[in-house]
Structure 1
Amino acid sequence: MNKFNRILLASGLAATASLVANSPAFAGTTATVNLSGTVSSNLTITVTPNPSAASLVLSPGSYSNVKVGTITGASTNSANGLKVVLSSSWALTSGANSIAITNIGDAPSTTATSVTGNQPFPVGNYTVMSTNTASSGSASDSSIFIAYTVPNGQAAGTYTGSITFTASDK
């Protein structure tokens, strides 16, 4: 190979390298990979009606600390804890007749016999104090109590009502 061919070859290689370096294929580029995942809520609760809930005494008189149910096994993996909220119409009804629930409350333990925290004359929702937590893990077991008064002359009938327990992460 003579000197002229070598110069021509070197010039061609330099021109090719210059074209390749300025080509979009060699321009600086970036790419993004988005990451995502979900930690499912691990929220548990067991509500057990007390036998007295299905056969309330409805003779005339005032009744307090009537245990209607227990909460066990309430737990969450939420770092902010959990709460259990009770909702109801807060009355026992038979047709157009009713007996108001005059107090709703709770106490720690399934063996409690009287209320320690309560809401007299409930309206709206009641947050169960015993199971209201501020961190993940298990909440205390608790008992739920109501109070009511059956007046003299209450209309005959089968009176029914319900309380809805809703557990949620905070």
Structure 2
Amino acid sequence: MALNGYKVFVDPGHGGKDPGAVGGGYTEAAIVLDIGKFLKTELEKLGATVQMSRSTDTYPENPDRAKASNNFGADIYVSLHINAGGGTGIETWIHDNASSYTTSLANAVNNALVAALGKTNRGVKKAPSQRGGTNIHVIDPKNTKAWAILPEMLFIDTASDRNTLVANKQTCARAIANGINSFAMTLPPI
């Protein structure tokens, strides 16, 4: 199994006081928590050691999420999010100072999600380091030592995207795990 020896930190975004994006009676925080739990199981099946930033409806501050990942010694950090703003499709964010390994990881996960869900590929996007805001904190290599990606899985405020997402949480998790696994297969064994 390609993920033997790898530590993956799974970070379901938002939670607790912060529901994240909302649409159709659903919250981003609740959906990504479900996907995160499935993802932990899928990654463990592939041999990874997994830690989650949260396993209940709580809100760890972003610096605490990054610190927990660093303390765990994570190789890979996956911050799970759902988009909003009336679009459609899947995109994955990395920091503009991210390594080429992080770019390869993001491409592998993004492509696996697009293939599994059959939705528009919005591609891998780089968050500029000068941009403010908290979401970028966990993917900034200054804060998180692991290769850190932030998949935005579909749009919660677009009905067709939301329906696909709600019906396919486990499919999302499996796609992310498979993307991580295929990325790990391109690396020398650890």
TM-score, length-scaled by structure 2: 0.29
Q: Which has the larger radius of gyration?
A: 1
- Return the structure number with greater helix share: 2
Which structure has more strand as a fraction of its residues?
Answer: 1
TM-score by length of 1: 0.31
